[in-house]
Structure 1
Amino acid sequence: MPKPKKTGSGDSKEGKANTSLRLDRKTLKALKLRAIEEDTSVQKIIEKLIEGYLKKPAKRES
């Protein structure tokens, strides 16, 4: 029986979707360096930040 393929991040592709975003070069470089310092990935940092943002109640404009 063949083994399931693994993605580079170790996550299963199930439940994941790709997106892209544009960042200032200096911001992206700093983010990559921080990810290396923290032994993590840019994807994991961004996902954690987004999850925290989505936990906050939405601001309603009057």
Structure 2
Amino acid sequence: MAKEKKSSDKEDKSKKKNTSLRLDSKTLKALKLRAIEEETSVQRIIETLVEDYLKKT
């Protein structure tokens, strides 16, 4: 069953830019597993971490 996407989801994607990063393979695997467990994505986890970091500084 596919999730319904809100129109704001499409707007958010159009504002986003790509970047890349290199992670140790064990770290990336653990991150992917955590994303699956939390029913989210690696992208969303990293985005949340970065946003929280930027709020602190």
In our comparison, the structure showing a higher alpha carbon Rg is: 1
| Normalised TM-score (structure 1) | 0.72
Map Cα deviations across residues 5-45 of structure 1 (whole Å, 9 max, x no partner): x8xxxx43311000000000000000000000000000000
Identity %: 77
Task: Please provide the CA RMSD for this pair.
Answer: 1.4
Equivalent runs, 1:17-32 vs 2, <5 Å: 17-32=17-32
Structure (1/2) with the larger helix percentage:
2
Q: Which runs of 5+ in 2 are unaligned?
A: none
Equivalent pairs, count: 48
- The answer to which structure, 1 or 2, has the higher relative contact order (CA under 8 A, 6+ apart) is 2
